[in-house]
């Protein structure tokens, strides 16, 4: 089964996504920020990453850019609850960096799983 990396500075979001995806049989790794995610990807490569946009150590847009440069085959889904501006502004920016799907928090289970299965070819 495919490996998915969850990147979010909110522990509760990581736990919720991990549980949802593990129930579907996916192998999950997670990181609280972009720098940690890159180190994990070097050791335990993921096929798909789900990343938050607003994070303290390395913004999601920067993380997406780094993954696109260093790991171009990884599929990417971006999620955001917003920050100074509405989530759509951040998510539109993420799409310009090659993100396949974007979702506003809270993420609907059915929509997220549909995107995950489509990207992983299931």
Residue 43: CATH number of its domain: 3.40.50.2300
Q: Are 63 and 51 in contact (CB under 8 A)?
A: yes
The answer for residues whose C-beta is within 8 angstroms of residue 94's C-beta and 6 or more apart is 53, 60, 61, 64, 76, 78, 80, 102
What is d(CA 15, CA 13) in angstroms, rounded to the nearest whole number? 5
The predicted-structure confidence for 35-61, as pLDDT tens digits, reads as follows 999 999 999 999 999 999 999 888 899
Number of domains present in the structure of the chain = 1
| φ, ψ dihedrals at 87, nearest 5° | -55, -35
Q: What is the pLDDT of residue 87?
A: 66
Ranges of residues in the chain whose predicted pLDDT is under 50: none
Q: What is the pLDDT of residue 41?
A: 98
Q: Which domain holds residue 18?
A: 3-119
Of 108, 58, 56, 57, the closest CA to residue 79 belongs to 108
Q: What is the pLDDT of residue 57?
A: 84
**Residues 68, 70, 72, CA angle at the centre, nearest 5°?**
45
**Residues 1, 80, 109, CA angle at the centre, nearest 5°?**
45
């Amino acid at each position: 089964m495919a490996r998915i990396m969850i990147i979010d500075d909110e522990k509760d979001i990581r736990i919720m996504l991990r549980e949802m995806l593990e129930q579907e049989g996916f192998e999950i790794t997670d990181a609280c920020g972009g720098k940690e995610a890159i180190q994990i990807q070097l050791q335990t490569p993921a096929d798909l990453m789900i990343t938050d946009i607003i994070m303290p150590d390395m913004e999601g847009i920067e993380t997406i850019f780094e993954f696109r440069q260093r790991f171009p085959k990884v599929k990417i889904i971006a999620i955001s609850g917003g920050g100074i501006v509405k989530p759509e502004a951040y998510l539109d920016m993420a799409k310009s960096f090659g993100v396949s799907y974007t979702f506003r928090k809270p993420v609907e289970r059915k929509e997220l799983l549909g995107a995950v299965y489509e990207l992983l070819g299931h």
